[in-house]
Structure 1
Amino acid sequence: MVLSLNTAEMDNGAVAAARSVADELGLAVDRTVVVQDSNKLTLRLLPCDVLARVAPATDQVAQFEIDLAARLTDSPVAALESPHVHERDGFVVTLWTYYESRGPVAPADYAEALAQLHAGMREVDIPTPHFTDRVEAAQRLLADRDRTPELPEDDRRLLVDTLRHEIGGADEQVLHGEPHPGNLLNTAHGPLFIDLETCCRGPIEFDLAHAPKDVADHYPDVDHDRLQACRRLVLAMITTWRWDRDDQLPDGRRLAEQWLCELRS
């Protein structure tokens, strides 16, 4: 059975696990602030000012994320506070440097940070899933009407047809997987990417499809036809996730309707 962080009981357990790990490492924690609560609980631990990411031990890729971050120390990614995955009471806890965000990242700076990340990732030798694995997961979700009971059939067919489109003829490398604005912090140290658990292998246009459209204008050597195909593919994928009956994204259903309108147009 896969655990979820939906309930207050689970949240309390996750907070207790993070506090226990911090205490073992000698980090002072008088209070915790919830930064995000979705598939993981992300906490700011104070006064030590460390970021804790907590996930159920049965449903996580924490070790993959830690291993990748440790190989990207010269790339624009958030730094680790501990190089280990800590297990406590059915949860896994990872500890990261906390950064104050200074608002949106300018398109040129966004593109430069992503290009630097891609350059670093080309040097990484670590097994990663292929981006098409994510596409196939979305296709399986659409085929399971019990998990997507509220999705209208006409829209289901639109999503199915869109996800069938293949992206080929490209050089491939390790990618962030979801470098959207929510995963890029504008910090005092410059733009830094977070949430490396979605890393996969594919064309750089797949990553650019997650970024604001004007970012691609500043990224070198983009195949714009492939980018447009990737944008449509990514839009179909993220729309599909929002129709999952277990989706936890705030305002997810409104976004699903909005993105369907974009796909129809």
Structure 2
Amino acid sequence: MITEEERAARSQRARDAAVAAATELGLDASGATVLYDVFSVVVDLAPSPVVARVPVVTPRGTTSAGFQRTELDVSRWMASRGEPTVVPSGLVPAEPVERDGFAMTFWEKVEGVVPTAYDAVKRMPAVARLHSILAGYPGETGFFPGMQGYVDLAFDDLDGREDLLPAADLARARAEWAVLSPLVTSPSAFARAFPGVPVQVVHGDAPSYNLIETADAVLYSDYEHVGVAPVEWDLAHTGEEAISAYDAAAADLGLRTVDTEVLRVVERLRDLQAVACLAMVPQLPLLVDGLASTLETWRATEPLTGLTGGDPRPTTPAER
């Protein structure tokens, strides 16, 4: 398990690598500071109006470069359409840069960010609009990106780690994954299970969270996990009121409304994704607290035994 001192040292190495890479690209980063440090270290390369994003914690079996190229391509495409979005810095090439063992990307700094309380319901119209835009994205993306390979490897890493996940929980997670994993292998596999439910390019990583607000605009951001999936993948666990708000906005835009059975299934997939994230706790101990509520809710649901088996709603002993 990484110590706090080791985590701070990793953050410093990422910052130093970003500064060195930026300097080599001709930027003045003499006042660089770390803005954020969780899965990525985000560095304000002051006085240059550029922010570097440096992934430091990634699931085993995945690499940053492919995700980073997709993120850069999608953001540039969004900007070319005049959509409100965070964009790659125009002061350096829009491509991943490797330095001192880190792969990083450089972004235009957003000035005047307004701190706002998260409200999924109020943000659903923006999510529906994003779906209407991404449906036309012409680039190549994966299907349910980040799910193939990662979950199986994570469950293998959790085997025998009772300090991270009890064996009974791991056995349940593996059983549920055996039921659901075929759905994320290809669009055709999904279509066989849910005929008539279309898939499209979606954000992939909770777009209602990944909005940056200023006094003048609300910007879309964080396209690392963009890929083809049902729109419900972006809506999992947002709550009934938020789903109703999404449906209303989708109808106004001529989009389909949420399929409740697909939502039920992708919410369980998101639960299993959270369970798999426990394998990264040795690299990122704060995940223990961050995932606690999700895992508690998952444990309170009936185990999923089939696409129509097992009620995903939390139950009490009296209800069972």
**What is the TM-score when the length of structure 2 is the normalising length?**
0.69
Query: Does the CA contact (< 8 Å) of 1:179 and 1:193 recur in 2?
Result: no
Corresponding residue of 2:131? 118
Q: 1:132 to 1:85 in 2, by over 3 A?
A: closer
2:193 is the counterpart of 1:157: no
Match in the other structure for 1:260:
295
1:43 partner SS = strand
SS of structure 1 residue aligned to 2:212: strand
* Percent identity for Structure 1 against Structure 2: 24
- Residue 18 of structure 1: how far off its partner (Å): 2.0
1:92 corresponds in structure 2 to: 103
Distance 1:145 1:239, change over 3 A: closer
Mark the runs of 5 or more structure 2 residues left unpaired by the alignment: 1-5, 57-61, 184-189, 251-256, 301-313, 315-320
Please state how far the C-alpha of 1:206 moved relative to its aligned partner. Answer: 0.7
Which amino acid in 2 is paired with 1:199?
Answer: V
How far residue 241 of structure 1 moved from its aligned partner, in angstroms, is 0.6
CA distance in 2, matches of 1:180, 1:39: 17
Aligned to 2:69: 63
| Bigger Cα Rg | 2
Residue 198 of structure 1 deviates from its aligned partner by: 1.3
Q: How many residues align?
A: 258
Q: Distance in 2 between matches of 1:16 and 1:133?
A: 28
Q: Unaligned regions of 5+ residues in structure 1, if any?
A: 1-5
Corresponding residue SS for 1:13: helix
Per-residue deviation at 1:152? 0.6
User: What SS does the aligned partner of 2:11 have?
Assistant: helix
CA shift, 1:230, in A, is 1.6
Please state which structure has a larger fraction of its residues in strand: 1
1:236 corresponds to 2:272: yes
Asked whether the 8 Å contact 2:95–2:105 carries over to 1, the reply is yes
* Alignment partners' CA distance in 1, 2:157 and 2:55: 25
Which residue among 216, 220, 226 is the counterpart of 1:199?
A: 226
Aligned to 2:242: 215
Letter in 2 for 1:248: L
Q: How far apart are residue 213 of structure 1 and its match?
A: 5.1
Letter matched to residue 261 of structure 1: E
Q: Distance in 1 between matches of 2:218 and 2:77?
A: 18
In structure 1, what is the equivalent of residue 254 of structure 2? none
Q: Is the 8 A contact 1:180 1:210 kept in 2?
A: no
